[in-house]
Amino acid sequence: MKIAVVYNWESQNVINLFGVPNREKYAADTIRGIVKALRAGGHQVIQFEADKDLVDRLEEFMPQVVKGERPGLVFNLSYGIQGQARYTHVPGILEMVGIPYVGSGPLAHSLALDKVVAKVLFKQAGLPTPDFVVVDAPGFALPDLEFPLIVKPKNEAVSFGIKICHDEDELRAAAQNIFDEFDQPVLVERYIEGREVNVGIIGNNPPETFEPAELIFGQGGPQIYTWEDKTRASGREFGVVCPAPLGPELTARTKEVAVGAFKALGCYDCARVDLRLDDRENLYILEINSLPSLGEHGSYVAAAAAAGLDFPALVNRLVEVASARYFGTPIPPSVTRSTADPAAYVFNYITSRRDQIEKQIEQWSAISTRTTDPVGKQMAVDRLDGRLRELGFTESADLTDHRSAWTWQSPAGLAGGTLLVAQIDVPLEGSMPFQGFRREPGWLVGEGIAAARAPWVMLDFALRAMKAAKRLSRLPLGVLCYADEGFECRYSAEYIRRAAAQAGRVLVLKPVFRDDRVVNQRRGMRKYQFSFRDAKPEVGPPKKRPELLRWVFNKLGDVLRMSPDEGRSAVYLGEVRTLANPVSPPYDVTASLIVSYGEEGAAQELEVAVRDLFDRSKISWHLELISDRPPMKRRTKNKQLVKAVGAVAADLEVALKAESSRWPSPAGLVPASTPVLCGLGPVARDLYTAQEAVQRISLVQRTLLLSRYLASQASEGKSRGGKR
Q: Which of 60, 90, 51 is nearest to 74 (CA)?
A: 90
| Residues forming a β-bridge with 288 | 273
The CATH number of 524-629, from 3.20.20.70, 3.30.70.360, 3.40.1350.10, 3.40.50.1970, is 3.30.70.360
- Buried b / exposed e along 267-305 (16+ C-beta atoms within 10 A): bbbbbbbbbbbeeeeebbbbbbbbbbbbeeebbbbbbbb
Burial call 396-431: b when 16+ CB within 10 Å, e when fewer: beebbeeebbbbbbbebebeebbbbbbbbbbbbeee
- Picking from 222, 195, 201, the residue whose alpha carbon sits closest to that of residue 276 is 195
Q: Please report, for the chain, how many H helices and E strands are present, in that order.
A: 19, 30
pLDDT at 537: 60
pLDDT (0 to 100) of residue 389: 97
| CB-based contact 646:709 (threshold 8 Å) | no
Per DSSP, the three-state class of 684 is strand
- Start-to-end CA span in the chain (Å): 40
Q: Is 526 left (phi over 0), alpha (psi -120 to 50) or beta?
A: beta
Amino acid letter, 382: D
344-522+633-719 and 524-629 share one fold: no
Helix segments in 503-655, DSSP class H? 548-560, 600-615, 636-651
The answer to whether the beta carbons of residues 472 and 463 sit under 8 Å apart is yes
How far is residue 435 CA from its own chain's centroid? 23
DSSP 667: G
What per-residue confidence (pLDDT) applies to 250? Answer: 97
Residue pair 530/592 in contact by the 8 Å Cβ criterion: yes
Domain spans of the chain, in order of start: 2-102, 344-522+633-719, 524-629
Neighbours of 607 (CB within 10 A): 18
pLDDT tens digits, one per residue of 124-170: 999 999 999 999 898 899 999 999 999 998 877 656 778 899 999 99
Cα–Cα distance, 398 to 499 (Å, whole number): 9
CATH of segment(s) 2-102: 3.40.50.20
Q: How far apart are CA 110 and CA 84, in angstroms?
A: 9
Nearest Cα to Cα of residue 93 among 174, 8, 28: 8
Residue 341, H or E segment: none
- How far, in Å, are 8, 342, 525, 527 from residue 664 at the CA level? 53, 35, 6, 12
Which residues of the chain register pLDDT less than 50?
330-339, 722-724
Rounded to two decimals, the pTM is 0.75
The top-level CATH class assigned to 344-522+633-719 is: alpha beta
Closest CA to 652 of 606, 605, 704: 704
The pLDDT value given to residue 603: 87
| Integer CA distances (angstroms), 602 to 609, 610, 621, 722, in order | 11, 12, 23, 44
Beta carbons of 292 and 300 less than 8 angstroms apart: yes
How would you classify residue 175: left for phi > 0, otherwise alpha for psi between -120 and 50, otherwise beta?
alpha
Distances (CA, A) of 101 to 3, 207, 423, 604, 633: 9, 17, 41, 63, 49
Do 536 and 649 touch, CB atoms closer than 8 A? Answer: no
Between CA 22 and CA 417 the distance in angstroms is 64
The Cα 379–Cα 358 span in angstroms is 20
C-alpha angle 132-133-139 in degrees, rounded to nearest 5: 145
Question: What is the structure's pLDDT at 251?
Answer: 96
Using an 8 Å Cβ cutoff, are 110 and 266 in contact?
A: no
487 secondary structure, DSSP code: G
